[in-house]
Chains A and B, each alone.
Chain A
Amino acid sequence: MFLINCPFCGEREQSEFKAGGEAHIVRPKQPTELSDDEWAEYLFMRKNIKGVQFERWNHVHGCRKWFNVVRDTSNDQIKAVYKMGEKPPN
């Protein structure tokens, strides 16, 4: 179990959090304008990287805020955390 540095509460144990999948997938503003393929791209297609991945996490047993985490999936090292709406680090 790793430790996650919630941008609102500080460092807490992983068991307080819920993972929310890949980050920076924006819900299309006008879904009705999209073809089936374009909508499917938004709906279903997710990366599954071995290495550095941008993820959404929710401090579900804490402040209940969503935020972003940059995690290396090969060793669970967390490179960065940042709030929703903030730019991802390079």
Chain B
Amino acid sequence: MKKNLRVKRSKHIDETYKISFKFNGKLYYGFKGDTLASALLANDIHLVGRSFKYHRPRGIMTAGSEEPNAIVQLHNNSPWTEPNVRATEVEIYEGLEASSQNCWPSVNFDIGGINNFLSPLLPAGFYYKTFMWPASFWEKYEYFIRKSAGLGKSPTKPDPDIYEHRYIHCDVLVIGAGISGIISAKIAAKNGFKTLLIDEKPYLGGSTIYQNSEYFKINNQNSGSWLEKEINEIKKIENLEIKTRTSVAAYHGYNYLLAKENLTDHLPIERRKNKTRHKLLKIRAKKVVTATGSIERPLIFDNNDRPGILLSSAIKKYADLFGVACGEKNILFTNNDSAYETAISLIQKGINVEAIVDNREKVDSKLIYEVEKNNIKIFKGHTIVNTYGYKRINKISIMQLSKDGQNVIGSKIDLSCDCLGISGGWTPAVHLFTQSGGKLKFRDEDQVFIPNAYPSDQISVGACNGDLTLDSILVNVPKSLKDFLNIKNNVYESFEVLSSYNNSKRNIWLLPSDKILGKTKSFVDYQNDATAKDIKLALREGFKSIEHVKRYTTTGMGTDQGKLGNMHALGIISETSEAKMGELGTTTFRPPYTPLTFGTIVGRNVGEYFDVYRKTPIHEWHVKNNAKFENVGQWKRAWYYPRDNEDMFQAVQRESKAARESAGILDASTLGKIDIQGTDASEFLNRVYTNAWSKLQIGKCRYGVMLNEDGMVYDDGVTTRLSENHYLMTTTTGGAANVLGKLEDYLQTEWPELDVYLSSVTDHFATISVCGPNSKKIISEIFPNLDLSDKNFPHMSFKKTKIGKIHCRIMRISFTGEQSYEINVQANFGKSVWEKCMEVGKNYNITPYGTETMHLLRAEKGFIIVGQDTDATMTPIDLQMDWIVSKKKYDFIGKRSLYRSDTIREDRKQLVGLLTDNPNEILEEGSQIVSDINKSPIEMLGHVTSSYFSPNLKKSIALGVVRGGKNMLGQKLIIPMENKKINVTVTDPVFLDKENKRLNA
């Protein structure tokens, strides 16, 4: 039997615009203006999910972003699916499909519900205590937990939507468009400030906009009507930008805020195409006005979580704004005047209010008299001790409170109902303020935390600043703004305010029951199923810090971050441990205030825009010639060029052989290149490299190793002296930016007296390396006028020449051990010079090779790769490169560290060669190296850093670092693998052509 609980026209709801949607597979109707929650309530549906731990049935509890229970999955099994969405924030649209997510197999029959009966076995810290041991069982627990308590399902298909980031700069940002925010924005904008006003809801005006009672008036109008006129007025102000459906996720230092602007989530899916779904706004505001309002507190009593129990203010909002009755037999339970506002709203709309249960004994309040006039029974000085009804509340039991509020007295009275509104007073929404680094103070009279000291140019106004009544807002907000903005124009004259709210409140954090605490389930954190009992248990078990209690009980650790229950948790801790609330402190509210989608965070940085990538000028040729690429930093480097059906191993073997037998060609354009000029350039190189540079002749090249001050190898490369005061330094591909940064650092901060200028020229030159025994012939055919004789152009020297009009710098340097020439040309000529090399080289079987072959060739020769054969713990001595360290130089970067007690140890890890006993066995890079596998624990001596099958030596070769390896030549070591052990012999790291004959062949 379907009930229609739509009671009366509301301005916000368009009853001529019917919208159909599905919830848990069933078709329902709502109206334009409804949220999923209001539409479900209009269809008399309260039960929407199951709780996380006990799987208790849970209903819609609030009407806003603080919702802990009504968490749904949208569009399950489609690319648009989204988990963990609050039904109270979803605006319905044609075709919306939502489903409960924390239940299995269905919300009405939930297997996990058995946890409810097992709950004595599921106390605080349960997960820590039970699932931690034995560790090997974790996989099984995880399966069970995920299946029965899943917090929604992640999408399995690519996100079809578009997201963007936008920077916004403004003079004044106003967060929250309730009455305080509207007043603030108007004052700021009318005084000429470039103002941005944002609110998470689709409409402006907060909770005042639907306030139409005779008991709250501004200048003799309903406060709602008054505010509506204000809103219409501010919409016309030119220097005021208004954004709705926009929630501030994070408030960082220096008034830097992140907000999510929601642009299409309220539209039917077919209308979202090609539109931006969410925008991440990166807001830098000179001044910030936080007007985030307050959140109603629940009350903590036994079984306070049944479907049909809502915040009293939510019931009012559903009636006033959405025209929906949450029940037909409503009872309100309160410790303050707010519930009476709700009662009056319900009475006005003809919704039945059965009774009001009030903790307070005697209160003189106009609102109460009005309710009493309507013959509604008020139980003063009473509390609820229990509730009944499994999937929907149907009855409550109440008892009288003792004088001190710690006990219940008298006899139980049962009252039947189908909806219960609870009101425990109001908590200022200080989340964003504390995120920004603000400190709170505790106000004893009404037990709230309010802002104390502002860490940046900001102010909190209205309810979030503790002004919880209409009159205090209207008096204080304009006054605060005047001081804050330092303005003359107040915009508002004084107000005539009627506010009938009586501030009295009887605050009892944990309401007493006739049962002992151990037998009650009084929920403090609904989403994480943390009860008052759990918190007390944590305290008994010795947890004192609020942060520890939070983690142990998981209070406040759900997606709602405990927006409802955190204050009660603190209150219970304070009462139990007899510590003052103000001294306990609060837990830290962390960004985001409400969850963000990943799409919002990444914006357009997806797919090929995920990161910048760099291509060499010859890139297109590599693509055309079937190269496979590897990422080296941001560079795309040709990795190998498979022919026909070759796999990587086969291609690399072929390329490596060709390079040593005839000719190979490599695109080395990614190597870092730094142009160094100045009268002190030689002295500068002397200080940054380990070897001597003053005597390097013009036109010669030299290999250099650069250390950190701690003596560890940082980078290496060849530097060429182009003229007296002009050098070209090359660095590793990955190290280029860091090396430049390091050199600039020393020049600017340690040696500003040196006359040296550095320019990065990496992108300005293409570098083509031609190597192999036929390289000289190829180069001579390209440059017929160049004298390539070893006498005129020996190894480690440089010539300037031309091809046609193209200037070339040619360095005869080698990273393979073969004779080789590196041609540097202006980048835009790179591809044509490369093609020229290919054309000329055809007769010599010139073979393009990629980084993998380059690595193999240099390993045959025992050349290191910084970052592969070294980490930040290798000195040049450890690398057996003593020859590169000048003994004569007084100082260079890292020199002093080379004879620290630690760096001169004989048993440091040192670079060695490794040959497998079986020449066909190829070691795995990263494998551990040991000598004795019988000793336990097995001592690790080092690891394999580079390993290849050498086609030129026809055996497997490897480099590795081994503790004391320098003195272990010829010794046998073991590489233990999963199913075998591999025997290796320690050798010299140079495997091929120790005499360097090939360089000058």
Contact = CB atoms under 8 A, between A and B. Distances in A.
Contacts of A66: 744-745, 748-749
B779 to A, nearest CB: 37
A1 B891 contact: no
B259 to A, nearest CB: 15
A58 interface: yes
A80 interface: no
A1 B710 CA distance: 31
A79 B633 CA distance: 36
B891 A2 contact: no
Contact of B252 (A1, A18, A56): A1
Given A27-B750, A32-B896, A66-B748, A1 B741 contact: no
Nearest to B893: A27
Interface residues of A, number: 26
Given A43-B709, A43-B710, A85-B752, A1 B900 contact: no
A49 B749 CA distance: 23
A66 B742 CA distance: 11
Interface bracket on B: 20 to 34
16 contacts: A1-B256, A13-B284, A27-B750, A31-B896, A32-B890, A32-B895, A32-B896, A39-B896, A39-B897, A43-B897, A56-B749, A66-B748, A75-B253, A84-B748, A84-B749, A85-B752
Nearest to B748: A66
Contacts of B891: 30-32
Interface string B731-769: 000000000010011001110100000000000000000
Given A1-B254, A20-B745, A58-B741, A36 B900 contact: yes
A40 to B, nearest CB: 7
Nearest to A4: B254
B125 interface: no
A76 B254 contact: yes
A64 interface: yes
Nearest to B254: A2
B455 interface: yes
A26 B752 CA distance: 13
Contact of B254 (A3, A36, A65): A3
Interface string B230-262: 000000000000000000000011101000000
A26 B709 CA distance: 13
A64 B284 CA distance: 24
A60 B254 CA distance: 21
Contacts of B455: 75
B901 interface: yes
A60 B252 CA distance: 23
What 4 pairs between A and B have smallest CB-CB spacing? A31-B896, A2-B254, A66-B748, A76-B253
Interface string A36-58: 10011001000000000000101
Contacts of B752: 84-85
A43 B708 CA distance: 10
Contacts of A58: 741, 745
B499 to A, nearest CB: 38
B744 A64 contact: yes
Contact of B253 (A2, A39, A43, A85): A2
Contacts of B744: 64, 66
B794 interface: no
Interface in B372-419: none
A42 B895 CA distance: 14
Nearest to A18: B741
A60 B742 CA distance: 11
A80 to B, nearest CB: 16
A36 B750 CA distance: 21
Nearest to B710: A43
B437 interface: yes
Interface in B338-377: none
Interface string B205-222: 000000000000000000
A86 to B, nearest CB: 12
B741 A60 contact: yes
A47 to B, nearest CB: 18
Q: Which one of B752, B895, B897 has the highest number of Cβ atoms from chain A below 10 Å of its Cβ?
A: B897
B1 to A, nearest CB: 57
Nearest to B740: A64
Contacts of A84: 748-749, 752
A52 B216 CA distance: 50
A14 to B, nearest CB: 8
Nearest to B255: A3
Interface in A64-83: 64-66, 75-76
B900 A34 contact: no
Given A31-B891, A43-B710, A75-B455, A36 B901 contact: yes
Contacts of A85: 752
A40 B744 CA distance: 24
A60 B748 CA distance: 13
Nearest to B253: A76
Contacts of A64: 744
Contacts of A75: 253, 437, 455
Given A3-B254, A32-B895, A34-B896, 20 more contacts: A2-B254, A2-B256, A18-B741, A20-B745, A26-B750, A27-B750, A31-B891, A31-B895, A32-B890, A32-B891, A36-B900, A36-B901, A39-B897, A40-B900, A43-B897, A58-B741, A58-B745, A65-B748, A66-B744, A66-B749
Nearest to B745: A66
Nearest to A23: B749
B458 to A, nearest CB: 13
A65 B604 CA distance: 31
Contacts of A40: 900
A43 B897 CA distance: 9
B744 to A, nearest CB: 6
A64 B455 CA distance: 30
A43 B895 CA distance: 12
Contacts of A65: 748
A18 to B, nearest CB: 8
Interface string B271-310: 0000000000000100000000000000000000000000
Contacts of A2: 253-254, 256
B378 to A, nearest CB: 50
A4 to B, nearest CB: 10
Interface in B963-995: none
A2 B709 CA distance: 30
Contacts of A76: 253-254
A87 to B, nearest CB: 15
Nearest to A83: B748
B753 to A, nearest CB: 11
Contacts of A18: 741
A3 B750 CA distance: 26
Contacts of B741: 18, 58, 60
A26 B284 CA distance: 37
A89 B897 CA distance: 33
Contacts of A26: 750
Nearest to A20: B745
Contacts of B710: 43
Interface string B831-849: 0000000000000000000
A65 B752 CA distance: 12
Contacts of A36: 900-901
B858 to A, nearest CB: 31
Nearest to B744: A64
Q: Which one of A26, A31, A56, A64 has the highest number of Cβ atoms from chain B below 10 Å of its Cβ?
A: A31
B672 to A, nearest CB: 16
Interface in A5-40: 13, 18, 20, 26-27, 30-32, 34, 36, 39-40
A32 to B, nearest CB: 6
A58 B437 CA distance: 26
